[in-house]
Amino acid sequence: MELTSAADLDQALGFTIPQRHARGRLVRLGPVLDDVLAAHAYPPAVERTLASALVLAALLGSTLKQAGGQLTLQAQTENGVIGLLVADYKNGDLRGYAKFDADRLAELGPDPSLFGLFGKGYLAITFDQAVTGERYQGIVPLEGESLGHAAEHYFFQSEQIPSVIRIATRHEAGEGCVAAGLLLQHLPEGEVGRERLHVRHDHPEWEHVQVLAETLKPGELTDPALPLSDILWRLFHEEAEVRVTEAAPLAKGCRCDLTHIRDVIGRFSVEERAEMADDNGVIGVDCAFCSRIFPLALDSFTTH
């Protein structure tokens, strides 16, 4: 197979293995991840979890076929240490944030489990199609050892698409954070004439590539010196053909906009805006994603 060199960081690389009726994505984040995380001073356990969510958002979002579509991940629980975790992808832009209880987190130790962080939480995955306006959402319990395992449950339970999702993070002292992931899926019904696997008793094609994908090591995923194309070569070089798409760049994109915020606040009544304002007559709108505060003076709004 022919593979071209891809940039090592902040890229999504797509591929298909036609004879195995499988497709996938490889993603590795570096500076973009640092930019997103820099907006908040997250403890290591929360940083790793949010980094994993951003990788997962990039893996899933980069599969959207319609330009302008959006993929949103939301992990939530009523009594977990992390009460809310959000990450989304749109046109190659990523953003995310987490709300957590710092005191309870400190009691869990340096390496808490997914259950320790969320308890009995759930993962919602939402695909918004820009052209058709359609929205698809699936909700599954936050089960397994990682967000990747929970997403595997989502695809198998909601879409009957067996999937392998592997995510790894690394943040060594004095270096930036690196997070990366692999998504591998059997082609769903309607693509190249394949039937869904749940109606078959055996599926050796999928089992073959699944075994190969599960040999991927976390250190390989997060090694910036190892091109993503080389990872594909290591995993699938014995296949007759692997088709690789051009690597797509990933960037930080909060999408907070003062004009949009002013328009939203302007829809409230004069009385409601007055209640929002501080003693100086200023409404402070806080963006949870980028941790910026947008000040809007009451007297800057028209009163008709």
Query: What's the CA gap between 29 and 14, in Å, rounded?
Result: 15
Query: What's the CA gap between 117 and 111, in Å, rounded?
Result: 10
Spacing of C-alpha 134 from chain mean position? 20
Is the pLDDT higher at 5 or at 145?
145
Neighbours of 75 (CB within 10 A): 27
Q: Is the pLDDT of residue 87 over 60?
A: yes
Its pTM stands at 0.84
Beta bridge partners of 163: 185
Strands 70-76 and 82-90: antiparallel
Neighbours of 65 (CB within 10 A): 7
**Residues 11-252, CATH architecture:** 3-Layer(bab) Sandwich (3.55)
- Confidence category of residue 292, pLDDT binned at 50, 70, 90: confident
- CATH 3.55.30.10-classified regions of the chain: 11-252
Confidence at residue 195, expressed as pLDDT on a 0 to 100 scale: 39
Confidence at residue 303, expressed as pLDDT on a 0 to 100 scale: 60
For residue 146, the surrounding DSSP H or E stretch is none
Q: What share of the chain is helix, strand, coil (3-state, %, to 5)?
A: 30, 30, 40
Confidence at residue 147, expressed as pLDDT on a 0 to 100 scale: 92
State mean pLDDT over 175-183.
93
